[in-house]
Amino acid sequence: MKQEFFVTTYQLNETAGPYFVKVFDGLNGTDTRFMITSQTTTPEATVSSVITTDKVEYGPEEVVTIKGSGFQPNATVNVEIIRPDNNFDLLTVNSDGEGVFVTTYQLDATAGLYFVKAYDGLNGTDTKFIQ
């Protein structure tokens, strides 16, 4: 299944502080957070962390590529994969100088919905995929 993307705009009000964005199509979803740090004519935002997988649906024994951005530069990022049987696997990766990382996860025969969470001690986010 091909991963689809969309773009939309939303006019922010002049309130500084944290904002939360959630996207859900009935089966798949993701969320992110960002902070309005100053009051200007056009509010300045710093994007928080985002993670994606290379596909939304996988077959047994496939390899999932997980990409993250918006993390602390040169930081240790914990990537937790919660399996359909409620067990989890923990991957530890390092972000580069721009807060980006790429890692892979080898699937077994456990079919169902997987949740992926990434956290660097300051920033965190999640996504999901199906096998």
Nearest 5°: phi and psi at 104?
Answer: -125, 160
Given the structure tokens 């992926």, which residue do they identify?
116
Number of H helices, E strands in the chain: 0, 10
pTM of this prediction?
A: 0.65
Whether the CB-CB separation of 79 and 116 falls below 8 Å is answered with yes
Q: Is the pLDDT of residue 49 over 80?
A: yes
- What would the pLDDT profile of 12-33 be if each residue is shown by its tens digit? 666 777 777 777 666 667 777 6
Tell me which of 26 and 73 has the higher pLDDT.
73
- What would the pLDDT profile of 76-103 be if each residue is shown by its tens digit? 999 999 999 989 999 999 999 999 999 9
- In sequence order, the 6+-apart residues with CB closer than 8 A to the CB of 46 are 34, 35, 37
Tell me which of 42 and 70 has the higher pLDDT.
70
Confidence at residue 37, expressed as pLDDT on a 0 to 100 scale: 67
Hey, what CATH class is 49-130 in?
mainly beta
| Residue 6 pLDDT class (50, 70, 90 cuts) | low
- What would the pLDDT profile of 114-128 be if each residue is shown by its tens digit? 999 999 988 889 999
User: Which tokens in the block code for residue 8?
Assistant: 């939309």
CA distance from start to end of the chain: 11
Confidence at residue 1, expressed as pLDDT on a 0 to 100 scale: 45
Whether the CB-CB separation of 118 and 78 falls below 8 Å is answered with yes
